[in-house]
Amino acid sequence: MIIILEPGATAEQRDALAADLKARGYGVHLSEGVERTIVGVIGTPERDKNELKEQFESLPFVERVVPILKPYKLVGKQFKPEGTVIQVRDVRIGGGNLCIMAGPCTVESPEMLFETADRVKAAGAHVLRGGAFKPSTSPYSFHGMGEAALKLLAEARDRTGLPIITEVMDTRDVELVGKYTDIYQIGTRNMTNFSLLREVGTARKPVMLKRGWASTIEEWLQAAEYIASQGNYEIILCERGIRTFETYTRNTFDINAIPSIKELSHLPIFADPSHATGKRSLVKAVSLGAVASGADGLILETHPNPEKAVKDGPQSLSFDQFDDLIRAVAPIAAAVGKSL
């Protein structure tokens, strides 16, 4: 941690700060520049860093405090340089495997779910997605079938052998959802719901953590650290687009995040081109881009009849479009050395 003093800071202020730091047990390096004094603080423990940074910035003679270390440990690259591989039933996530998750935004009926499960499996998907509890911007929209949908998802798994992933939105539902799902999904709206992060951190099932639509990569990794700090290291990150000024697309897919996560963390990183674009016509191109840039997997919305979907129809692929996408992804995966 480096503390940069204001131009007018006095020698007394500087010395008092140094004495205070030493009294707390930290090493201190003073560096007098031409216009500024800089104080290096050595040995600050992880758990005190945020608090210390804010306290020093509160001093009237301090201009700013520059942290040196990254604010996460367990999910950082150095913690596990070889990369995390997660086994979910027969599916391996990470480690050179390209994993495709597909299914409807929302479970609407047994028929549409089973038809979708059969078709995406046939096309080559590895995991079945489907919403039981759905976040909706409007209180008057459909909010999902709840446990009935969870049961149908489990039935679809039995039918197809595909592991399932579904969203959990409420700390009170973590146990219930865990009775059925293979992977918990934390949606973008709950990336900063820290109670929920901690709750799935105590569960013993993998968690897909979608990036908050206005969260930096660093904040996203800190959210993952919440889960890891409770003992659950099986975390899949998922870039699903961030909020910008652009209005032609629903979100802006931050493809930079894919190699950035690869250099900062050992966790697998997925892409969600359906939400990242909000437009069916763009999903294929962005899926190919995500895989070429190093994504470990894709999560895609598909629907037997997108124009009848209860939610997210405009971004859902028909089965034929999904087949076409998978065919196009295969040579890209091969080109970057991933097995599909």
Residues 177-206 contacting a copy of itself, CB under 8 A: 189-190, 192-198
CB-based contact 269:237 (threshold 8 Å): yes
The H-or-E segment that residue 166 falls in is strand 164-167
The 246-265 contact track toward a copy of itself, x by CB under 8 A, reads xxxx--xxxxxxxxx-xx--
CA quadruple 298, 319, 280, 150: dihedral, nearest 10? -60
81 binds a copy of itself, rule: CB under 8 A: no
The 210-249 contact track toward a copy of itself, x by CB under 8 A, reads --xxx-xxxx--x--xx--x-----------xxxxxxxxx
Q: At 177, is the secondary structure helix, strand, or coil?
A: helix
CB of 30 to a copy of itself, least distance (A): 9
Q: What is the CA angle 299-302-303, rounded to 5? A: 155
CB-based contact 108:310 (threshold 8 Å): yes
Please name which of 130, 124, 137 lies closest in space to residue 326, comparing C-alpha atoms: 124
- Name which of 155 and 292 has its Cβ closer to a copy of itself: 292
308 binds a copy of itself, rule: CB under 8 A: yes
How many of the chain's residues bind a copy of itself (CB under 8 A)? 116
* Rounded CA Rg of the chain: 23
170 binds a copy of itself, rule: CB under 8 A: yes
- Name which of 121 and 253 has its Cβ closer to a copy of itself: 253
Total residues found in the chain within this entry? 340
CB-based contact 236:261 (threshold 8 Å): no
> Residue 136 contacts by C-beta under 8 Å, 6 or more apart in sequence?
142, 143, 311
- Name which of 151 and 249 has its Cβ closer to a copy of itself: 249
Please name which of 210, 103, 209, 101 lies closest in space to residue 149, comparing C-alpha atoms: 103
51 binds a copy of itself, rule: CB under 8 A: yes
The 105-144 contact track toward a copy of itself, x by CB under 8 A, reads ------------------------------xxxxxxxxx-
CB of 94 to a copy of itself, least distance (A): 16
CB of 250 to a copy of itself, least distance (A): 9
Q: Which stretch binds a copy of itself (CB under 8 A): 79-87, 94-102, 111-119, 163-171?
A: 163-171
